[in-house]
């Protein structure tokens, strides 16, 4: 109760009983508030975002597929390897009749020997002419003529050396060898047939330089150098791959971007078709965290120990959705289905 002092000032007097009642009321209110709080678990948004798995059509190809042809006209004497064989670079595949090439080479070498003999004689004639000129026994014109003959012979020798190289090359071309490690996929050559220059005799597919050709949507191609989990999947099997080359050109007709990948370990069969699969960080909230309140979808966040419903305008039922919130925002990851906006929270951090 209130009373007035001697100097006219007011005194506030509170009885001990009233203080006790106030304290008890405050305690009961706190207990009631704690009892109403809903237990939930929260996690930072950055820990909860999911990656999106993307796919693009792909086919395994060889870097080289070669149709081997004859470069000389000759009979086919031998077909050393056949379809299905695996060959190494330099292995003999087809041998053509080399009799004409050997004869031409022998003739070219014989002509070189004859020219060399003529050059020896011409050198001697020039030396003799120089001695005779000093004694005035021959004219200057005779010396010049002999020097010219020697120069012609030396030029002929150079030409004959070229002829020998050509003959050696022609003989070498009667042996058709593998240009790289390969599988033989087709054979047209037949023993006894006459091969003309340009005739396709055998088809090889390189086996030690395999690539994956992928058709990418331009929307995703720009991120390919930075994505994770690149793999090629075909017929239930998968192989890890890495980016080899990425085109900067969008095909006008198909609106796709071509890219080439390589296998990082074992490789899929050449010619197989499948898909390139990768993971892309998209900032999507998992479906399990999205709830519906009224006709709107969203997530619950913890803010000052209370639940706040954040609407996601683009969210659709059963699909992850992007949310525009800082990565450190505390998202209610457990207990969110029973919440309403403004509910008190009893928070446990994951």
Taking phi over 0 as left and psi of -120 to 50 as alpha, with beta for the rest, 35 belongs to: alpha
Q: How far out from the chain centre does Cα 204 lie? A: 24
CB 323 within 8 A of CB 285: yes
- What residues does each domain of the chain span? 38-50+285-349, 53-63+208-281, 64-96+175-207, 99-173
Pairing of strands 345-349, 38-44: parallel
Which whole number is the average pLDDT over 251-262? 92
CB 304 within 8 A of CB 262: no
Query: What tens digit of pLDDT does each residue of 211-229 get?
Result: 999 999 998 888 888 888 8
pLDDT band of residue 24 (cuts 50, 70, 90) is very low
pLDDT, position 25: 46
DSSP 181-247: SEEEEEE---TTPEEPTT-EEEEEEESSSEEEEEEE-HHHHTTGGG-EEEEEEETTEEEEEEEEEE-
- Say which CATH topology domain 64-96+175-207 has: OB fold (Dihydrolipoamide Acetyltransferase, E2P) (2.40.50)
What ranges in the chain are assigned the alpha helix state H?
16-36, 99-134, 140-172, 218-221
pLDDT above 80: residue 6: no
Give the global pTM: 0.62
Q: How many CB atoms lie within 10 A of CB 141?
A: 8
Residues near 73 by beta carbon (within 8 Å), at least 6 away in sequence: 194, 195, 196, 197
Query: What tens digit of pLDDT does each residue of 236-247 get?
Result: 999 999 999 999
- Residue 103 CA to residue 96 CA, distance in Å, equals 14
Above pLDDT 70, what percent of the chain? 89
Residues near 248 by beta carbon (within 8 Å), at least 6 away in sequence: none
- Residue 93 CA to residue 87 CA, distance in Å, equals 9
- Say which CATH topology domain 53-63+208-281 has: Elongation Factor Tu (Ef-tu); domain 3 (2.40.30)
Torsion of the alpha carbons at 41, 42, 47 and 50, rounded to the nearest 10: 70
Query: What tens digit of pLDDT does each residue of 65-97 get?
Result: 999 999 999 999 999 999 999 999 999 999 999
CB 184 within 8 A of CB 81: yes
- Residue 154 CA to residue 122 CA, distance in Å, equals 10
CATH of domain 38-50+285-349: 2.40.420.20
End-to-end CA distance of the chain: 53
């Amino acid at each position: 109760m209130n009373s007035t002092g001697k100097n006219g000032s007011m005194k506030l007097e509170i009885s001990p009983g009233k203080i006790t009642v106030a304290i008890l009321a405050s305690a009961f209110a706190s207990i009631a508030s704690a009892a109403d709080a809903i237990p939930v678990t929260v996690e930072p948004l950055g820990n909860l975002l999911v990656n999106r798995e993307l796919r693009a059509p792909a086919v395994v190809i060889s870097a080289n597929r070669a149709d081997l042809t004859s470069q000389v006209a000759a009979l086919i004497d031998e077909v050393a390897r056949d379809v299905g064989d695996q060959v190494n670079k330099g292995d003999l595949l087809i041998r053509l009749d080399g009799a004409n090439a050997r004869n031409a080479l022998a003739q070219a070498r014989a002509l070189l020997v004859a020219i060399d003999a003529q050059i020896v004689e011409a050198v001697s004639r020039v030396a003799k002419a120089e001695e005779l000129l000093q004694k005035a026994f021959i004219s200057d014109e005779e010396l010049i003529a002999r020097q010219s003959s020697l120069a012609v012979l030396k030029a002929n020798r150079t030409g004959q050396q070229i002829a020998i190289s050509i003959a050696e090359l022609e003989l070498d071309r009667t042996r058709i060898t593998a240009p790289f490690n390969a599988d033989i996929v087709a054979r047209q050559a037949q023993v006894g047939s006459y091969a003309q220059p340009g005739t396709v005799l055998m088809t090889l597919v390189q086996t030690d330089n395999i690539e994956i050709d992928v058709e990418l949507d331009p929307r995703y191609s720009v991120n390919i150098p930075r994505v994770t989990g690149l793999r090629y999947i075909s017929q239930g099997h998968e192989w890890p791959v890495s980016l080899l080359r990425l085109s900067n050109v969008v095909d006008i007709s198909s609106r796709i971007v071509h890219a080439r990948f390589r296998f990082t370990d074992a490789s899929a069969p050449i010619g197989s078709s499948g898909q390139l699969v990768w993971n892309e960080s998209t900032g999507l909230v998992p479906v399990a965290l999205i709830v519906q309140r009224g006709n709107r979808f969203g997530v619950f966040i913890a803010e000052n120990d209370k639940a706040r419903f954040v609407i996601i305008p683009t969210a659709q039922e059963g699909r992850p959705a992007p949310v525009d919130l800082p990565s450190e925002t505390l998202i209610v990851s457990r207990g969110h289905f029973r919440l309403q906006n403004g509910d008190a929270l009893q928070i446990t951090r994951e």
